[in-house]
Amino acid sequence: MVCGKLYIAKENSERREGEDAHFICMEKQTIGVADGVGSWAKYGIDAHVQLYVSVGNGINNDNPDSAWEKKDIQTVPGDIIVLGTDGLLGNMFPSEIEEVLVANSTSNSKDRESDRSGGDGDGDFDCDALASSIANLALYNSFDKYNPSPFSENAKKAGFEYVGGKIDDITVIVR
C-alpha cells in the first residue's frame, strides 16, 4: 500500500498543531482522518496516538460521544482513494479533485514509471505529490472570498448567505 499525505493547520495561536489528525497503518491496510481532535489536548490526550490506538483496538461505538464512521472499501489495482477532512471537502468539489487526478495521470504518461513514489508496479502514482497538489488547491480555495465552494453551497441550503471558501485545517491522504 502506497500512500501520500499532507496536513496544513490553519493559523491558530491557541492550537498550533491544529484540529485534525490522520493515520496510515500499513499492517492493517487502513487509513483514516479525524477532525476536531485538537481539543483532546486539554485532557492530556495526544490526538494522533489516541486515533491510532482507537482504530488499532477497534473503535468503540458504544461511546455516545464518539463520532466515528468506519467504511470498508474494496479496491482493485489502479484505484486511487482520496480521503480528507472538511478542510478539503468544504473547499473542493469532487470534480475539482478528479481534475487534479486526471491532470496527473495524463501529464508525462510516458515517464510516470519514474515519478512513482515507492510503487509496487500496479500503476501507483506519486501519492505525496497528489496529496500536496490537492491540499494546496483546497488551501487556495479556502482564502478565495468569491469562489463558490461546497461549504458555501451547503450554507445557502441551510438558509445562510455565504460566499467563498472556508478557512480550516486541511488533511489529505491519497492511496
Confidence of residue 6 (pLDDT cuts 50, 70, 90): confident
Q: What total number of domains does the chain contain? A: 1
Q: Which long-range contacts (CB under 8 A, 24 or more apart) does 56-59 make?
A: 56/25, 56/28
* pLDDT: which is higher, 68 or 152: 152
List the Cα angle 91/37/173 in 5-degree steps.
50
Sequential DSSP letters for 31-98: EEEESSGGGGGGGT--HHHHHHHHHHT---TT-TT-----------TT---EEE-HHHHTT--HHHHH
The pLDDT of residue 113 is: 43
Query: Is the pTM higher than 0.85?
Result: no
Share of the chain above pLDDT 90, in %: 39
Q: 117-146, pLDDT tens digit by residue?
A: 444 444 547 899 999 999 999 999 999 999
How high is the mean pLDDT of the chain? Answer: 78
The residue range of the domain holding 42 is 4-174
